[in-house]
Amino acid sequence: MDYKFFLYAIGLGVSLAMDAFSVSLANGLGEPRMRTRKVCLIAGMFALFQALMPLLGWICLHTVVNLFSAFEKIIPWISLALLGYIGGKMLYDGIKHRCEEASVSAHLGFGALLLQAIATSIDALTAGLAFAEYDAWEALLSAIIIALITFIICLCGVLIGKRSGTRLCGKAGILGGVILIIIGLEIFITSWF
């Protein structure tokens, strides 16, 4: 392994973490009084899935290539559906409770966080294709680097969102929902071009 391996893994980690960063930002906007433990849980969940998906892609590439190529076609649809649902719910709740204090203190449940982590990382399955020439150790090391990068980036996203969320009051849920829907559309549209 040389420096190019690490630069490539870092670059891949940054690019894969951008969707997760935006969703982390939206989560911080939606819950400006979030505790430190939950901030770390959000960043950790995104990091875990951003690392697992490329590894899963690598495993599929080395075992069941035909199944993986068939599944790859529905990845954008899955991301769009999951992020559209979560974003639509946030948007609906934000409009319904626009000026109420309840919308500012809305809490992100574990199930919704899990869906977000899957939706933002599912396109990272194809990053397993970038690991095609790697042995198991190199693929694992790349996944660990991606996880560390994602954790740091998502941590920053949640903290920025929390800080901005208190200034946006009741509009935070609306903005967070719109961001999630836009990310879902972006994943879907860019998969076709």
Contact 76, 183 (CB under 8 A): no
- Give the DSSP letter of residue 2: -
Q: What is the pLDDT of residues 60-119, one digit of tens each?
A: 777 766 565 666 677 778 777 877 887 787 678 777 765 444 344 456 789 989 988 988
Rounded CA gap, 61 and 120, in Å? Answer: 21
* 118-135 residue pLDDT tens: 888 887 776 766 677 788
C-alpha distance from residue 64 to each of 69, 77, 83, 122 (Å): 9, 21, 28, 17
- Are 27 and 156 a contacting pair, CB within 8 Å? no
CA distance 125 to 156: 24
Q: Which of 49, 41, 46 is nearest to 23 (CA)?
A: 46
Please enumerate in sequence order all residues whose Cβ is within 8 A of that of 13, keeping only pairs 6 or more positions apart, or say none: 50, 145, 146, 147, 148, 149, 150
**pLDDT over 90 (residue 159):** yes
Distance of CA 2 to the CA centre of its chain: 29
| pTM for the full predicted model | 0.72
Going from the C-alpha of 5 to that of each of 123, 126, 137, 150, the distances in angstroms are 21, 18, 12, 18
Bigger pLDDT: 63 vs 35: 35
Say what the pLDDT of residue 99 is: 45
